[in-house]
Amino acid sequence: MASELVVAVAGATGAVGREMLKTLEMRNFPATKVIPLASSRSVGKTVPYKGQELPVSELKEDSFQGVHLALFSAGGGTSKTFAPHAAKAGCIVVDNSSAWRMDPEVPLVVPEVNPDHLDNHKGIIANPNCSTIQMVVALKPIHDAARIKRVVVSTYQAVSGTGQKAIDELDGQVRAMYNNRDIPVNVYAHRIAFNCLPHIDRFLDDGYTFEEEKMMLETKKIMGDDSIRVTATTVRVPVFYGHSEAVNIETERKLTAAEARDILSKAPGIVVMDDPSNNEYPMALTAAGQDPVFVGRIREDRSLENGLDIWVVADNIRKGAALNAVQIAEILLQKKLLG
């Protein structure tokens, strides 16, 4: 590794960007300098890193001279515009948006699943959607053991996936209700407090949402297998942190629940919590603030010959975004592809 390792965080004032700074710090990432970037609105603000307050600079085309690694979480449009400038300056971009995920030239990586896809990057690497990340961590060992034919997933997604404004909206709505005030509805199409919205991101012509399409397409690309059929229903629930997923899996070869439990408990990045007789199963509250993907409720699907049902929970801002991006950077370092 070179003696210098300069890291920029684009979107450093946002929910994901702040978690990225925290994750770099917690994992002792060997950055010699960290540069927080955001919009012109944030110039003059600071963000915390290693006990200091770092000043935020405006993200510009020339922000990446002398920068080795840029972690982007400033929205798809921003990534589309600025990631190529960063790559052209010789910086490796790990992008959290959907802007580059399905580009055939761009690796889409979950370290527990397809770290080898990093070998052929061309300067931009994509971090998958949070709901996809936690699902593929659980699917990969099952696919390796029994070959997955089809996945049916329903998600229960926390408001933090939408960013800080949605965290504030749920908090504000609950307070308004308990104080008999008018309930502000600004972020989602309907009230989220004490409600569930089967609507994440925009609707597409065939009735799916873009979030559902992301899960369906990204899963095939990460698993490197176009034959896996995936259908998704993504739902926003009034939870602050932690996405939960009910995942139904049809396999080519029969796996018993005991075999699946054994395989999953030995897989990287997974903690199995599956003791229903003691009310033990993962919940959003279990995962919030934690690194692993938690799996429970592992059972054989009574309606299929070779089917499993599992329940998968992870912190959407950590493993679903910041942690996965930093793990990618760590592998680049191990492979001597960075610095």
- Is 130 in the active site? yes
Q: Which of 68, 91, 130, 143 is catalytic?
A: 130
Q: Which of residues 84-113 bind ligand NAP (CB under 6 A)?
A: 96-97
- Is 143 in the active site? no
The answer to whether residue 16 forms part of the interface with ligand NAP (CB under 6 A) is yes
Q: Given strand 92-95, what is the order of strands in its sheet? A: 57-58, 33-38, 6-10, 69-72, 92-95, 124-126
Taking the complex as a whole, the smallest distance from the CB of residue 59 to ligand NAP amounts, in Å, to: 4
CA distance linking residue 325 with residue 331, whole number of Å: 10
Task: Pick what 39 binds: ligand NAP, ligand 3JN, none; C-beta below 5 to 8 Å, kind-dependent.
Answer: ligand NAP
Taking the complex as a whole, the smallest distance from the CB of residue 39 to ligand NAP amounts, in Å, to: 3
Task: Pick what 157 binds: ligand 3JN, ligand NAP, none; C-beta below 5 to 8 Å, kind-dependent.
Answer: ligand 3JN
Q: Which of residues 232-261 bind ligand 3JN (CB under 6 A)?
A: none
Taking the complex as a whole, the smallest distance from the CB of residue 97 to ligand 3JN amounts, in Å, to: 3
- Token pair belonging to 268: 């990287």
Q: Which is nearer to ligand NAP, 251 or 324 (CB)?
A: 324
- Token pair belonging to 20: 């990225």
Q: Which of 42, 97, 134, 251 binds ligand 3JN (CB under 6 A)?
A: 97
CA distance linking residue 248 with residue 303, whole number of Å: 11
CA distance linking residue 176 with residue 171, whole number of Å: 9
One character per residue 32-71, x = contact with ligand NAP (rule: CB under 6 A):
------xx-xx----------------x------------
Beta bridge partners of 310: 247
Count CB atoms within 10 A of the CB of residue 50.
11
- Token pair belonging to 302: 């009574």
Q: Which of 141, 282, 320, 339 binds ligand NAP (CB under 6 A)?
A: 320
Residue nearest to ligand NAP (CB): 14
Q: Which of residues 204-243 bind ligand NAP (CB under 6 A)?
A: none
**Residue ranges that bind ligand 3JN, judged by CB under 6 A:** 76, 96-98, 129-130, 157, 161-162, 200, 214, 316
Q: Catalogue the active-site residues.
A: 130, 243
